[in-house]
Structure 1
Amino acid sequence: MTTLSPISPAIPIQIQTRSAVAASPATVIESADAFPARPSAIVSLGNPVADVESQTYSRLGQLPGQEIVRVWEKTSQDAVTRVMGTNPRSLSIANRFHGLGAALVEQFAKNGSSISQSVLHTTTDRAYDVAGIKSEQTLLHNKADNLISLSIKTASGKTVTFSLTSQDDGLGVQATVDGGPLSEDELKAIGALGNAFQAAVDGLTAEPPKLDLGKLTQFDSSVLASIDLNAKLKGVDGEDLTLAFSADDQRRTTQMSGPDGKLNLSVDLKNSAILGDAKQQANALNSYLAQFDRVQERGSAKAALMEMFKDAFSAMNSHYPQGTTLPERLTRNATDKGLLTGLADFEASITQTNNASNPMHLSELDSFAYTLSQKTVVAGSIMRDRKIDQTQQSSLSASFHKTLKGGKAPALGKDNESQNYLYVQVNDKASSSASLAYKDGRLTKASVTQSASQDTRTQKYVMGKLIEETVVPKQASASRSHLVLLEYAAKESKKSKDASEQTLLKEALATLHSSVMLQENPSALMR
């Protein structure tokens, strides 16, 4: 008979028994009741170690009174195994992965050795089915319900992949390297991404989920060539959350799909000459984020989905990679860059999952679709004769239900008494085009043309009957030339002026930049 005894988490005790059942040397079975981080009692049955859990897991199908054991892929006292020993008993994916991504990257960065560990919860009878356990371990690593992986390619062509996997009865991690041993600089650069990986994991597994990708864009581009983050998380309602994020010195992309909808963002970093300084970029980014808030309110978009869109847009348009050499000056002076946003070119879209919330009018969908883009074209073979055109565009199409007083979505049922509501449909478009031109080295054109339109259709229902319908169109456009201001700025910047005149000039240039940003509201263009 085998006796289970308390032990220190750092010094496991193995008790041999002759009635052992043969098991794979790589399979470790532990018994943990009082000490979740490591087994409170370890029994060696031949090669494996049994970890008995007092809690009953009915999902594992054990008989009444049958013990549950944790089956480890291998025995280890490393940091990753300790974290895994604490986490898998929680039903929350966030708790299972808590601290695990950072621990995995940190442990790998110490020596660059591959890592593979897993822990399964199963019954004592199934624990010694060696072939079955091996199969479950393989499936856990490759086809688990929940998977988050980070793939890093070095400038020298090597690839390192970290993966976290989980399902109801197991938790797994792996770190692999392909292409040969890593240098100290490569290990250091990879190790610096541990907290970035964990931040992304914590965001994805939060309720509601978030896209915390900003730190993943801050890698050392002189050592690392690209970063790829992929995730698939099983939703409670059967709707999976998937994410594909990629970043290098040429391009960044994010694709997310979940129960609430889809996001697609792409940033083109090749034309680094159009980028502004940090302050200009921050102002442009804040302008867009404020616009997203207004668009969310106008189209009644789901807050959690729009927050993810804002998070991804901010991450992908921050911390642009710095080249080893400065690009050729786009223009003859720095001030005329104020006619551009300062951001890299991009394409972005957010589409909310359609919902037929009115059982008596299934054609009345609650929907939200928003697209946004910036494209810059630089023409001309020499600096003295060059033309720059930058266009920003946006489009919004949305429909939603409101109470008769304009409040939140009403509770619509199959009886006429519940059919008192407003059904609103909006269709908006906006554009902003900036144009710069040089002839023989002289600035000959500096203009901005903007337009915006908003169409709002509202249907009013009382006791299920349409009693009123209104359509309100709004549109406006504006065109401005900033040639005089930019010529003056270029001229005066070369002179020594007093502080007050320099302040006035800076304020004028700041106003210029704000007038370049896309404006979706026609009323704002009319002012």
Structure 2
Amino acid sequence: MTAISSVSATQPLVVAKAVTSTQAISNVADSINIPSSPSSVVSLGQDASVIDAQTYTARGLIADPDIAPVWEYTQQDNVSLNMTGNFGSSSSASRFQGLGASLLNQLAQTNQGISQSVIRSTTGRALEPAALAAAQAKLHSTAADNSISLTLKTASGKTVQLTLTSQDNGLAVQAQVSGGELSNDELAALGKMADGFQSAIDGLTQNPPTLKLDALTQFDSNVFASVDLSTRLKLNDDSTQTLELHADADGRSVRMSGAAGDLNMSVDLKNAAILGDSNQQAKALKNYMNQIEAARKRGDGDQQLLSLFEDAFTTLHSHYPGARAAMAPETVNSIKLTDTDHSLLTGLADFSASVSEKSKEGNPARPGELDSFAYDVSQSTQSKGRDPLNRTLVQDQQSHLVASYHKPLNAGQKLDLTTDPKSQNYQYYQVNDQASSKTSIGYEKGALVNASISQSASQSTRISKYVLGHLEEDKTTPLKSSKTQNLLGTLNQALQQDKQAKLGRGVSWLKDTLSSIQDKVLLQSDPARLRS
């Protein structure tokens, strides 16, 4: 592990009063007094332009300006200067502003481990050495209110760990390397990830949060074997938001949990043979975005939570490692797939994804009437037979929506349900939808003998209508549709026509035929549209 100097608490220094502007921070940073040995307290010389001001903690308490913030090390580097500017803020977005990129860049430039923290006493008295050591240890641990951790494993077997933590009275960072010294190529690749790391931090700490994880899933696979991001952030309403991201050559996954609900998805990249070209993938992604948005509207889902779900889905299915054209060989069970095979697949990697809102009682007069939303969608591909002349390939797509919610009797009315019967004028919706699509491809002695698509979609909508607390109507509306398309004749005709065209006998329509089939395999959750 790259060495990090030991901490000494024996050399006291004086700290300037709080700075209240960017220029003041710059002036103070220029006057840092750096002794020759590490210290627990840093001295910031008082500049004439610094304005005396009362400094508040994140909980609104007035901090004593005469009690100096305590620094783990006295060093004038970019990370420490970044922390100096951020420490006066109370929000996670401002506390971590630019800090992830600064930390990663400094490690890439110096190839040296980094550990830095700044703590303000909350007792009105200077921290004793033992209390200071305990506070620093806690701040550097997962016990801190807010923590962001990035772990990178290199293809050569080294591990890079970066952490950023904060709480009301402290801010800390660490960067460590284990398994040997990083090479120049590895350091250069680290530097290239700095902006992407910061983008992920900025998205997660903003209000409302967004997922900007693209750069972390699109890492240089020649240098890095895996990337892991773990965050836990305390929000303004005291709720906690967590996220876990993992990406490597075999797959990607995201788990996120917060006050609104949870999302969980994983993408399997081991079966590279089923991946389509960029146009096919874009078409499939657009279809899934439409399916998710339709589910949100059907189930009255939380728009912010479903937006995060869509962002995660798009990120995990974008920029798969290695283009399909560059993969060699493209195989399922060591069998190379044909263009005909690909036309009957979505072009996306296999996956499973789910999102659910935190259920809540939407009607005080009827606690059993929950407002809830849960949606899951998946794709799996199975193959049988290792003989390229005798084999089968099956791809399944599934989706399921279960939701319940309250609506006013008339659009535009305000819904304000209480235990007062006069407020009990509403409709209670209960939704249960399912959809599936199954593609089957089969070969015997090299000849295509099966090419079919079976799809089904069902929707169940139950609406209970209450007027002044009395049930006036309780109606369930089921909708269901299914169809099976046998494409064997169409494909064999197109394949035969293509053979003749290659012999100079006519024109081939195979490419157009395959393109039209790709539209048919995509999941469709609306029974009415499935019938069309």
Question: Do they fold alike, i.e. is TM over 0.5?
Answer: yes
Cα displacement string for residues 132-164 of structure 1 (whole angstroms, at most 9, x for unaligned residues): 222211111112100011100011111101111
Distance 2:174 2:309 in 1: 30
- How far is 1:55 from its partner? 2.1
Answer whether contact 1:27 1:73 (CA < 8 A) is retained.
no
Percent identity of paired positions between Structure 1 and Structure 2: 45
- How far is 1:335 from its partner? 3.6
Partner of 1:49: 42
Partner of 1:270: 270
2:390 paired with 1:385: yes
Partner of 1:130: 129
Distance 1:65 1:76 in 2: 24
Moved more, 316-325 or 23-32: 23-32
Distance 1:64 1:175 in 2: 30
Q: Which amino acid aligns with 1:468?
A: E
Answer whether contact 1:87 1:97 (CA < 8 A) is retained.
yes
Q: Secondary structure at the match of 1:39?
A: helix
Distance change >3 Å, CA 60–CA 278, structure 1 → 2:
closer
Distance change >3 Å, CA 394–CA 124, structure 1 → 2:
closer
- How far is 1:382 from its partner? 1.4
Q: Which amino acid aligns with 1:49?
A: V
Distance 2:343 2:124 in 1: 72
Distance change >3 Å, CA 229–CA 361, structure 1 → 2:
same
Distance 1:141 1:505 in 2: 61
Distance 2:170 2:510 in 1: 64
Answer whether contact 2:401 2:434 (CA < 8 A) is retained.
yes
Q: Under a length normalisation based on structure 2, what TM-score does the superposition of the two structures give?
A: 0.88
Distance 1:247 1:158 in 2: 16
Distance 1:183 1:439 in 2: 52
Q: Secondary structure at the match of 1:137?
A: helix
- Aligned mate of 1:24, from 10, 21, 37: 10
Partner of 2:162: 162
2:524 paired with 1:524: no
2:238 paired with 1:245: no
Q: Secondary structure at the match of 2:125?
A: helix
Moved more, 205-214 or 373-382: 205-214
Partner of 1:113: 112
Partner of 2:226: 226
Partner of 1:13: none
- How far is 1:257 from its partner? 0.9
Answer whether contact 1:451 1:522 (CA < 8 A) is retained.
yes
Q: Following superposition of structure 1 onto structure 2, how do residues 388-467 of structure 1 map, counting pairs within 5 Å? A: 388-406=393-411, 410-467=415-472
Distance change >3 Å, CA 56–CA 244, structure 1 → 2:
same
Distance 1:44 1:111 in 2: 19
Distance 1:287 1:408 in 2: 33
Partner of 1:4: none
Q: Secondary structure at the match of 1:36?
A: helix
- How far is 1:82 from its partner? 1.7
Distance change >3 Å, CA 65–CA 442, structure 1 → 2:
closer
Partner of 1:348: 353
Distance 1:325 1:211 in 2: 29
Q: Secondary structure at the match of 2:151?
A: strand
2:367 paired with 1:362: yes
Distance change >3 Å, CA 175–CA 491, structure 1 → 2:
farther
Distance change >3 Å, CA 185–CA 42, structure 1 → 2:
closer
Distance change >3 Å, CA 67–CA 448, structure 1 → 2:
same
- How far is 1:64 from its partner? 9.1
- How far is 1:23 from its partner? 4.1
The unaligned stretches of length 5 or more in structure 1 are 1-21
Partner of 2:19: 33
- How far is 1:59 from its partner? 7.1
Cα displacement string for residues 360-393 of structure 1 (whole angstroms, at most 9, x for unaligned residues): 1111000001111101001101111111000000
Distance 1:448 1:474 in 2: 21
Q: Secondary structure at the match of 2:245?
A: strand
Cα displacement string for residues 83-132 of structure 1 (whole angstroms, at most 9, x for unaligned residues): 11111211111111111111111111113211111122237963452222
Distance change >3 Å, CA 38–CA 344, structure 1 → 2:
farther
Distance 1:375 1:26 in 2: 63
Distance change >3 Å, CA 328–CA 50, structure 1 → 2:
closer
Partner of 1:326: 328
- How far is 1:325 from its partner? 5.0
- How far is 1:209 from its partner? 1.1
Aligned CA RMSD, in angstroms, stands at 2.7
Partner of 2:213: 213
Q: Secondary structure at the match of 1:74?
A: coil
Distance 1:134 1:32 in 2: 23
The unaligned stretches of length 5 or more in structure 2 are 1-7, 47-51
- How far is 1:414 from its partner? 2.0
Distance 1:28 1:375 in 2: 63
Task: Kindly tell me the number of residue pairs found equivalent between the two proteins.
Answer: 504
Answer whether contact 1:27 1:74 (CA < 8 A) is retained.
no
Answer whether contact 2:63 2:124 (CA < 8 A) is retained.
no
Answer whether contact 1:449 1:479 (CA < 8 A) is retained.
yes
Answer whether contact 1:37 1:85 (CA < 8 A) is retained.
no
Q: Secondary structure at the match of 1:122?
A: coil
Q: Which amino acid aligns with 1:484?
A: G
Partner of 2:260: 260
